Every structure is written in C-alpha cells, then in structure tokens.
Structure 1
Amino acid sequence: MGRLVLAIKDLVTKFDLRTFKPDGDWIYTWSWIRTRDEPISAAQYLKFAESDLSEGESERHLVNALTNAKRALHLRMEDVCLGFGFASFGERRSFPRMVEFLSKVGVTAPRILNRLNQLRNQVEHEYLAPHRSEVETFIDVTSLFAASTQRWINRQPSDIEINQDVIIEGQTITLKAMAFDWERARAHLHFISRRGNAQWEQETLAFQCPSEDFFRCARLALENEW
C-alpha cells in the first residue's frame, strides 16, 4: 500500500518550531519602533543623570542621578516592549513583567536588568542612599541597554524571506517566509508545496502573543538577523 500523502494544510499543523533550525541566508525587510521624545526623551533623562552625578556626590545628587537614570531605563524599556507587542502580553507595565517580556522576545538577557531593579528598589522602597559606584553602574548599564536596543528600534524585523525546506512525516514542504504584525503581536509563517505538476499550494500558520510559538518566531527573527 502506498504512503498516504497529506495535504499541506495537514502538514503545517504538525510543524514544530522547537525543532526548527535556520539554514541559509534569510532576506529581511524592516520596520521601526516609535519612541517617545516628548516631553522628555530617554536620552535626555540619561543626560540629566550624568549632570546630577557630575555636580556633586551628596545623597541628593546620587539619588537624583539614580532616579533620572531609572526614568531613562523605564522609558526605553516601555517603548521597546510596546514595539514588540507587549500590549498583548497582559497585565500592567511593571518592571519585572517587562524584563520577562524582553527576555522572551530575545531582545536582552534579564539578569542585568533584574540587578538594576534591586538597586532601584533599595532606593525607592527601603529609602537607602546609593553609593556613587552603584549609581555609575546603573547609568553605564542603562546607556548600554539604550545603545543595544537602538538596533531594533531602527531595524525591527518585519518580513523575512526564508525559502527553507522542512520535512514533516517524510514529506517536504517549504517555509517560504515569516512575517510579523507587531502592533497586534502576531507572527505568520507562510508555507508552499507542490505535488508533481500540480499548482503550488499555500498555507499559513499564525501565532498570537503570548503563545510560546509567537516568542519562538520573534527570537528566530532576532537571532538570525546579521
């Protein structure tokens, strides 16, 4: 008895992103993330923090410097999170929730951001005056975070041409492209297949945040972009 040949719509439902390994050169087109520059931008808050620190080392200077650096960090985190679909992640924009989201998307590792949050909590909730070295570290890491995320703000993956064959239950279909609707927090995988001399068949898989497959698509897009 011959092997049962499944239709493409049945094959794509069996596609497992957890086992998918990118191959070949992916061709990207990009969008961008809107950042808030008014009334005060993240870059301006960072400059305020640096000015506070340069003007003195009193507890007032150190607390003000840390507070302004924290505002810069939060503003940049919120902009990046919203640009990658955070509104569909649920709950309010708490610092831990944003750290979790950025980690899931693949924008940054959470460890350093959690460490900064501990220092921020000590000042805001335990009323402890920070040391100058701690404030300098906070400002430096916030600057690095702003610089590293600028890449995705200017070059946010939008549509990716892939053209990679995948084998599902012994049959080969082609993952043609990956596309993102970041505003609605959706990822789409477009597949094509051809049976002999028949016309090309097409099928699409869609993933919505906060599904794990949505985050897998986002990480693949960011990790495979050079």
Structure 2
Amino acid sequence: MFHKILKPEYLKYYEGVTTCTTHKLEDTPHCATFIEFARNDLSTSQNLHAIYNAVSNAKRALHRRVDILCSLAGYETYIAKRNNFPSKLDFLEKCGFFTPQIIRRLNYIRNKLEHDYEAPNYTEAENYVDIIELFLVATSVFIKNYPTIYEFFIVESESVDNTELYKTLPRWISIEVELEKGNLDMRFPGQDEHLIKSIKDTDYFDWLKPIMHGYFWY
C-alpha cells in the first residue's frame, strides 16, 4: 500500500537517524598528503614554480577524493556516458553530496594553468588549497561513517501543512542503503511490502538526495 502512496518529496515530513559502518581507509598516498605537499610548496616560495606545484598537488587531492566518493556511491554501476571529472561532479551532486559550483570555480584555476597557460597568483593558489582542504574535511565523515541504514520517523502533525496526506503516510520508514551497488530497499512498519529503487531507475536520485542531505545535515 505505502509503496503506491509514498513519494520522495514526502520525506520532508520525516526526521531521520542513520546507522553507519566504518569504510576501509583510502590507500596511500592519502589526499591529505597531497595537501601537505601543496602547503610545503607555498611555504617554500611565492614564485611561479611553487604556485604551479601547489595547485597541481591540490588538484591531485581533489580528484582522488572525488574518485573515492564516486566509487563508494556506485558510480561504476551508474556509468554516465562521459566518464570524466565534470561528469563525476554531476553524479555526486545528483547523489546529494554537495553542490559542486565551488569545485567548478576551483577547477577554473586549474584550467587556467593547464589549458590556457595562465598562472594563478599566490593568493589564488592559497585559496585553492584552503578550499580543497575544507572539502576533504567535510567529505571525510562519509568515508569514516558509511551509511547503511536510514530510519525516518514522521514529525508531529502540528508541523505538517497537509493533514489529509499526513494521515496516509507510514509512521516509520527503514531504508537499507547499498550505495556501491546502487540499491535502496525501503520497508514499512507492519508491512511485508518493500519499495526497492535501483540506480537505473529514473527516480533513484530523487530518493537518494534527501537521504544524503539528512545524513550530512541532521
């Protein structure tokens, strides 16, 4: 019954609790190692050679972390037609990890250096390294605490703007999250039915995005 009623936008009427497991740590060299290299480059000198090296090392950290996140989130199962860095950012945005405009702005500096042969100045390089380091910190929680089950509990009726709809919704939803496989298995209290979504389903990301927003922001 519930699988016919429930829609992704109705999750706004719920609050969630996540069960996590620790994922295996990234292989060496770690992303943080490349950031350390970039810091050392900038502390050694402010000349063009140091700036180039710092931006390149920060770029390696960024690309490595994006690849790790994509692997954990099932990118290989999804495989967009364009298997490049921008398409990976688009995939992570669909999943709800982040809004990648800021990453694309940082990528602009990298492109200036690699494609347009324009050198960023020292301050731009510092900002580039700073923001990528913040990105690493923000996303490390996902690697250390990998979500496996997300339980949604419906909020009090006083805060609901559609009382008729509220009456039809399940009081509780348990979602088994298998991101690497691209599967979401939703179960409801007192019901044998499941609502299963695959990464190949057109509305998979509509379901996943509020789950990931809840994971990162609740």
Q: TM-score, normalised by structure 2?
A: 0.84
8 Å contact kept, 1:33–1:83? no
8 Å contact kept, 2:42–2:51? yes
8 Å contact kept, 1:89–1:209? yes
- Matched residue, 1:100: 90
Structure number with larger C-alpha Rg: 1
CA RMSD of aligned residues (A): 2.5
Provide the C-alpha distance between the structure 2 equivalents of 1:35 and 1:95, rounded to a whole number of angstroms.
Answer: 22
- Matched residue, 1:136: 126
Amino acid at match of 1:16: K
Q: Does 1:28 align with 2:25?
A: no
Provide the C-alpha distance between the structure 2 equivalents of 1:27 and 1:73, rounded to a whole number of angstroms.
Answer: 29
Please say which of residues 52-61 and 174-183 is displaced more in the overlay: 174-183
- Matched residue, 2:106: 116
Q: Does 1:82 align with 2:79?
A: no
Q: Helix, strand or coil: the match of 1:159? A: strand
User: Which structure is higher in RCO with an 8 Å CA cutoff and minimum separation 6?
Assistant: 2
Q: TM-score, normalised by structure 1?
A: 0.81
Q: Which has the higher helix share?
A: 2
Aligned residues: 208
8 Å contact kept, 1:34–1:79? no
Cα displacement (A) at 1:32: 3.5
Cα displacement (A) at 1:51: 0.6
- Matched residue, 1:59: 48
8 Å contact kept, 2:74–2:180? yes
Please say which of residues 60-69 and 91-100 is displaced more in the overlay: 91-100
- Matched residue, 1:50: 39
CA displacement, residues 118-157 of structure 1 (integer Å, 9 cap, x when unaligned): 1111111112222111111110010000000012112222
Q: Percent identity?
A: 27
Q: Which has the higher strand share?
A: 1
Cα displacement (A) at 1:60: 1.1
- Matched residue, 1:177: 174
Amino acid at match of 1:187: L
Provide the C-alpha distance between the structure 1 equivalents of 2:164 and 2:170, rounded to a whole number of angstroms.
Answer: 6
Cα displacement (A) at 1:167: 7.4
Cα displacement (A) at 1:88: 2.1
Unaligned runs of 5+ in 2: 156-162
Provide the C-alpha distance between the structure 2 equivalents of 1:212 and 1:30, rounded to a whole number of angstroms.
Answer: 26
Cα displacement (A) at 1:70: 0.2
Unaligned runs of 5+ in 1: 1-7, 193-199
- Matched residue, 1:15: 6
Cα displacement (A) at 1:180: 0.7
